[in-house]
């Protein structure tokens, strides 16, 4: 029995759609632009295309057969796959294409309108039929080219078949010519001898010498006939390919092998519609086909070579016998001459003439048969037949515009998404709070959205404002300075973000809230000064006294934000030029004080790393509740490390999507090297569209707090 605990645990993993949508959404315009560009380009290209006409004809390729075979009475029907595929290859061959193009030019067709690349040859499966199609901008040219191809393939097929017959015919003609010359000489000799000797008709049985000579002459004539037959057969085999040998065609072994190959080929074609060539079963069938093909070639060559050698040996043997009998015949003729029997010699000449006439008559019959075979093939009787000639098409074929546009659309989306994911893969910056935790292992204190985002600006007006109040607030927000946004517009989304960071800082320590807080960044222009100012203002809104100490004595900016002079400040006090009370300045914000950096000293690090600085911070803590130190960037400057040693922790400001991970990581390592506590990271200038989760959180918190304040005011 199977227990419940033994059952496999099936975990359902959902596709991380939200994760990928966060990557795609901010750059969705890239996908749209590329897709529109490709679709419009494809549409323009298809619209400018010249209309094409397609002409199609139907051709039937019957199995090859031998119409006339001398000395053998049989007809052979060739195997479809081998012969049929050979004809398909010929239809696609360069030589046939060249002949068709030359013929088209002779017809007066413009050469530029003819391109054999537009030709398609499509065999119909399990039939002997082939569709031949051609596409051209000229409908008449398309039809003419297909029909010309039909004519040329039939002509080409007949020429190949008649080549062997012509060779046999030429050989027999040469033999007849030589025989006629010899016969004429013998007849002249016989006539001259008869007149000179006064001899007329004599019996062939005048003597045993004549009878023996007659027998030898008959044997010689028969062996000549046999030699001519065997030589003709040998010459005919020399002009044929191995596959055309009758014995090869009749071989049961070759027939079985080709039948097996045809079955494998048919099985391979059917399975190729389902499986790829790399599929093991497809590889196995392909291997079997290759093995069978090699076996067929080997067996064909083996049988053909045996037949060819046998024909050659038979011919040489017959020739040898002919020469041997000729020698005996000449010897017997000598005997007859030596006997001085004029009648006998006359009869011998007469016998030679008669035998030569018989041989000449036989060769004449063979010549007529050969000529008949050649004329039959040349008369246009071919196993390739035209079923349907190509007709001039009346309408252009479909341009495939719809398919092209769909492909352009899909390609545009694919390229766009590919570029987005590639850019995201190559982007080595912090963009969201979870990235901070994954890379640095420290918490994110809060997120400040980019002021340039249209979506983030819309958050200024979220809530139950009246229409007129929305318009007035919008005009005001367009002119306010982000560096004091927490004071100028405490109800906006940015102010809410800084209040959220304030809460995170107050809760960052289990024992007590940090009172001296150093704010820095890894590199310049990441927003640390604006963050310092707004955080200080947010702490003032709790009713606390807060002091901002501008510790950046290299490029100070805090005095510009609060519109204060920088003639005296931190550097002035540290060098002993002014008293402690002279460096503390009130700002226009209640409970907020400022100690500017003062004149830029040549050695800020030495001034910071002093007992005076340490005592100054202790005295300031007796006056205010919190001190925020605006320090220089960490990388390459030691001032921040020295200032951080006096503070309860450091807040790192990072420009989201801009600052490289290596830089913020290096800044963290420098702080940890000196055992300085890191309170957390503030992600500044975050793209609103990339953080839908935090957007919802801020919307909800801000709307809820605003409604609550309205209820308190109404009471």
Domain extents in the chain: 17-49+399-423, 207-340, 430-714
Please give the structure tokens belonging to residue 515.
Answer: 């009172």
d(CA 506, CA 168): 112
Does the pLDDT value for residue 2 go beyond 50? no
Looking from the CA of 27 toward its CB, the CA atoms found within 13 Å total 17
| CA pseudo-torsion sign 146, 147, 152, 157 | positive
Neighbouring C-beta atoms of residue 334, cutoff 10 Å:
10
What is the model's pLDDT at position 36?
92
Looking from the CA of 134 toward its CB, the CA atoms found within 13 Å total 32
Question: Per-residue confidence at 115, pLDDT binned at 50, 70, 90?
Answer: low
- Stated as kind and residue range, the H or E segment containing 58 is strand 53-61
Question: Per-residue confidence at 710, pLDDT binned at 50, 70, 90?
Answer: very low
Residue 502 burial class via C-beta count within 10 angstroms: exposed 0-12, middle 13-18, buried 19 and up: buried
Say if strands 546-550 and 626-630 run parallel, antiparallel, or are unpaired. Answer: parallel
Question: Per-residue confidence at 535, pLDDT binned at 50, 70, 90?
Answer: very high
In words, the CATH class of domain 430-714 is alpha beta
In percent, the amount of the chain with pLDDT more than 70 equals 77
User: Is the Cβ–Cβ distance between 544 and 627 less than 8 Å?
Assistant: no
What is the model's pLDDT at position 342?
65
What is the model's pLDDT at position 490?
80
pLDDT digits (tens, 9 = 90+) for 307-349: 888 888 888 888 888 888 888 878 777 766 655 456 666 777 7
Residue 213 burial class via C-beta count within 10 angstroms: exposed 0-12, middle 13-18, buried 19 and up: buried
What is the model's pLDDT at position 713?
37
Collapse the DSSP code of 57 into the 3-class scheme (helix H, G, I; strand E, B; otherwise coil) and give the result.
strand
What mean pLDDT is predicted for residues 5-34?
A: 69
d(CA 447, CA 195): 139
* Cα Rg, the chain, nearest whole Å: 54
Question: Per-residue confidence at 63, pLDDT binned at 50, 70, 90?
Answer: confident
**The most confident of 206-215, 286-295, 434-443, by mean pLDDT:** 286-295
d(CA 627, CA 340): 157
What is the model's pLDDT at position 118?
64
pLDDT digits (tens, 9 = 90+) for 375-393: 555 555 677 888 888 888 8
Give me the CATH topology for the region 207-340. Answer: Helix Hairpins (1.10.287)
Beta bridge partners of 651: 519, 680
Please give the structure tokens belonging to residue 79.
Answer: 């195997």
357 Cβ contact list (under 8 Å, min separation 6) = 183
What is the model's pLDDT at position 461?
33
Across the chain, what does the average pLDDT equal? 76
Taking CA atoms, 399 is separated from 42, 54, 121, 144, 396, in Å, by 12, 11, 20, 22, 8
What is the model's pLDDT at position 262?
83
What mean pLDDT is predicted for residues 178-202?
A: 70
327 Cβ contact list (under 8 Å, min separation 6) = none
Does the pLDDT value for residue 209 go beyond 80? no
What is the model's pLDDT at position 375?
58
Does the pLDDT value for residue 228 go beyond 60? yes
Does the pLDDT value for residue 463 go beyond 50? no
Global pTM value = 0.47
d(CA 81, CA 715): 99
Question: Per-residue confidence at 468, pLDDT binned at 50, 70, 90?
Answer: very low
Beta bridge partners of 447: 683
User: In this predicted structure, which of 56-60, 351-355, 444-448 has the lowest mean pLDDT?
Assistant: 351-355
What is the model's pLDDT at position 536?
92
User: In this predicted structure, which of 115-124, 365-374, 464-473, 657-666 has the lowest mean pLDDT?
Assistant: 464-473
Please give the structure tokens belonging to residue 652.
Answer: 């790192």
* Phi/psi-derived region of residue 658, left when phi > 0, alpha when psi is between -120 and 50, beta in every other case: alpha
* 662 vs 575: which has the higher pLDDT: 575
Question: Per-residue confidence at 197, pLDDT binned at 50, 70, 90?
Answer: low
Beta bridge partners of 449: 686
* 613 vs 45: which has the higher pLDDT: 613
What distance separates the 2 farthest-apart alpha carbons in the chain?
Answer: 172
24 Cβ contact list (under 8 Å, min separation 6) = 31, 417, 420
The secondary structure of residue 603, as a DSSP letter, is -
| CA pseudo-torsion sign 89, 92, 94, 98 | positive
Residue 532 burial class via C-beta count within 10 angstroms: exposed 0-12, middle 13-18, buried 19 and up: buried
């Amino acid at each position: 029995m199977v227990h419940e605990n033994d059952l496999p645990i099936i975990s359902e993993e959902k596709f991380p759609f939200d994760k990928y949508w966060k990557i795609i959404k901010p750059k969705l315009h890239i996908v749209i632009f590329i897709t529109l560009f490709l679709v419009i380009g494809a549409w323009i290209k298809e619209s400018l295309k010249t209309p094409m006409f397609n002409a199609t004809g139907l051709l039937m390729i019957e199995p090859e057969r031998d119409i006339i075979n001398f000395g053998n009475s049989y007809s052979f029907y060739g195997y479809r796959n081998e012969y049929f595929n050979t004809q398909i290859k010929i239809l696609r061959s360069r030589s046939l294409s060249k002949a068709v193009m030359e013929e088209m030019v002779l017809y007066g067709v413009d050469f530029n309108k003819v391109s054999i690349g537009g030709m398609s040859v499509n065999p119909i499966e399990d039939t002997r039929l082939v569709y031949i199609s051609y596409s051209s901008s000229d409908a008449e040219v398309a039809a003419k080219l297909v029909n010309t191809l039909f004519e040329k393939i039939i002509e080409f097929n007949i020429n190949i078949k008649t080549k062997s017959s012509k060779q046999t015919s030429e050989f027999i003609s040469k033999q007849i010519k030589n025989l006629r010359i010899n016969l004429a000489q013998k007849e002249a000799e016989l006539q001259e001898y008869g007149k000179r000797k006064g001899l007329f008709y004599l019996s062939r049985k005048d003597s045993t010498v004549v009878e023996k000579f007659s027998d030898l002459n008959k044997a010689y004539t028969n062996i000549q006939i046999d030699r001519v037959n065997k030589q003709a057969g040998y010459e005919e085999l020399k002009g044929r390919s191995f596959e055309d040998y009758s014995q090869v065609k009749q071989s049961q072994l070759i027939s079985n092998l080709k039948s097996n190959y045809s079955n494998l080929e048919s099985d391979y074609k059917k399975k190729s519609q389902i499986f790829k060539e790399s599929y093991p079963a497809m590889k196995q069938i392909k291997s079997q086909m290759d093995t069978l093909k090699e076996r067929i070639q080997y067996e064909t060559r083996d049988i053909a070579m045996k037949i060819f050698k046998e024909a050659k040996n038979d011919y040489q043997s017959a020739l040898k016998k002919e020469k041997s009998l000729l020698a005996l015949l000449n010897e017997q003729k000598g005997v007859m001459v030596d006997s001085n029997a004029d009648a006998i010699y006359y009869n011998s000449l007469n016998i030679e003439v008669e035998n030569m006439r018989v041989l000449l008559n036989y060769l004449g019959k063979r010549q007529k048969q050969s000529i008949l075979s050649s004329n039959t093939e040349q008369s246009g009787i071919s196993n390739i037949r035209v079923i349907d000639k190509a007709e001039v098409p009346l309408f252009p074929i479909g341009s495939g515009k719809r398919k092209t546009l769909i492909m352009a659309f899909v390609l545009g989306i694919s390229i766009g998404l590919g570029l987005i994911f590639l850019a995201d893969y190559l982007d080595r910056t912090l963009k969201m709070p979870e990235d901070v935790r994954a890379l640095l292992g420290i918490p994110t204190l809060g997120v400040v959205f980019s002021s340039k985002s249209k979506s983030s600006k819309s958050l200024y007006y979220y809530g139950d404002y009246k229409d007129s109040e929305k318009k007035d607030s919008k005009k005001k927000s367009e002119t306010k300075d982000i560096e004091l946004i927490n004071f100028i517009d405490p109800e906006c989304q940015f102010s809410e973000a800084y209040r959220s960071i304030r809460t995170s800082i107050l809760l960052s320590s289990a024992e007590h809230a940090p009172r001296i807080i150093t704010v820095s960044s890894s590199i310049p222009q990441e927003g640390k000064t604006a963050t310092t100012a707004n955080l200080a203002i947010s702490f003032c809104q709790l009713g606390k006294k807060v002091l901002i100490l501008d510790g950046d004595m290299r490029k100070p900016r805090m005095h510009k934000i609060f519109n204060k002079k920088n003639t005296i400040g931190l550097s002035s006090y540290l060098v002993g030029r002014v008293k402690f009370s002279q460096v503390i300045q009130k700002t226009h914000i209640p409970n907020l004080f400022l100690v500017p950096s003062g004149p830029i000293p040549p050695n800020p690090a030495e001034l910071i790393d002093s007992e005076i600085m340490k005592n100054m911070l202790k005295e300031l803590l007796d006056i205010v509740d919190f001190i925020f130190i605006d320090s220089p960037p960490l990388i390459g400057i030691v001032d921040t490390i020295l200032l951080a040693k006096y503070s309860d922790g450091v807040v790192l400001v990072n420009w989201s999507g801009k600052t490289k991970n290596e830089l913020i990581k290096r800044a963290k390592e420098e702080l940890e090297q000196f055992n300085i506590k890191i309170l957390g990271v503030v992600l500044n200038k975050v793209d609103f569209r990339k953080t839908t989760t935090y957007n919802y959180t801020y919307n909800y918190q801000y709307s809820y707090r605003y409604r609550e304040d309205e209820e308190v005011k109404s009471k």
